[in-house]
Homo-oligomer: A and B are copies of this chain.
C-alpha cells in the first residue's frame, strides 16, 4: 500500500504522523506546502516542511506545533542583539536546519534533494516532498494591503481579515517528478486537515498536481480542519467567512466540491458535525464522522486508521470506477 498525504504544517504533520504509525515503513509520502517559505537572516526557511519533518522524526515540540523539543535559544538571543528581526524566532537546533538547507541549496541542490538529506539524517521513515522545487510565495490581501504569508501569520498573528489570496510563482512552478510519480503510484490520497486555502489550496495550485490527482484511480479522502464551526488552530474558519463559504465541515466539502469537482471522494468529519453528513453526501462526497481532534500520538494513529478504513471500504464498493468523474479544472 502506498499512501500520499497533502499537508501543511501542524494538522497535516499530526495526521501524517498518525499515518506513519499505522502504515508499513516507507509506505507514506507527504507532499508539503512550500508557499509559506521565507528568507530570514539570509537563510532559507521552509516552516511546513520542517514541521512535518520534525514531527515524523519524533523530534517536534509537542507544545508549540512548530520547532523542535528540547530546544535552546542562544542564537536567537544573539541575533536579536545584532538587530535582526525577532518576530520569527528560530531555536538553535532549528537554525542548524536552515543553515544546512541554505548551504546545500547554495551548492546547487534542489529543495527535494535537501529535504531528503535532512530527513535521512533525522531518520524519518517516510518520504517528505516539497510540492515544487520552484519558489512559490503565498500572499494575502488584507485591509492593510498585500502581506507575505509569515508576515500575516506569525508577525501579525493572523489577526487581519483575508480578502484575497495569491500564490506568487505558482503559475510558472512545476510539480516535481517525485510528486507526480508519488501521486501516480498511490493507492490512497489523503488531504490532511490543513487549511484548505493556504495549505492544501497552495499545493493544488501547482500546475500538474490536480491533473495527476484526477488521473489517479486512488481514493481521495479529506479530513475536515473545521470542527464544530471552528478551526482547531489557525485562521481557516475566519478565511471561510471573509473569502466566501461557511466555517463548517459542510463548508469544507462545498469548498472542495466547487473548486475541484470530483476530487474528494470522502470527507472525514468530526463526530460533533455528524448532522452535516447528509448535506455533504448530497454533494456527491461521502461523509465519515470520526474523532478528528488529535490530542496525542495515539489519537493521530486512530484517526489515520479511520482514514485507511474509509479507503478500504470505498475500494470494496466502488461502482462505477471513479476516474471519469475527476476531470478537474486547470489540470
Contacts and interface: CB of A to CB of B under 8 A. Distances in A.
Interface stretch (A116-124, A132-140, A199-207): A116-124
Interface centre among A84, A92, A100, A103 (most CB of B within 10 A): A92
A259 B82 CA distance: 40
Given A81-B122, A82-B117, A118-B82, A74 B92 contact: yes
Interface centre among A72, A78, A93, A106 (most CB of B within 10 A): A78
Majority secondary structure of chain A interface residues (helix, strand, loop or mixed): helix
A79 B92 CA distance: 10
A95 interface: yes
A169 to B, nearest CB: 21
Nearest to A114: B82
A71 B43 CA distance: 22
Contacts of A92: 72, 74-75, 78, 92, 95
A80 to B, nearest CB: 9
What is the count of identical protomers in the complex? 2
Contacts of A79: 96, 99-100
A44 to B, nearest CB: 10
29 contacts: A41-B99, A41-B100, A41-B103, A42-B99, A42-B106, A71-B74, A72-B92, A74-B91, A74-B92, A74-B93, A74-B96, A75-B93, A75-B95, A78-B92, A78-B97, A78-B100, A79-B96, A79-B99, A81-B121, A81-B122, A82-B96, A82-B117, A82-B118, A82-B121, A83-B117, A83-B121, A84-B100, A92-B95, A95-B95
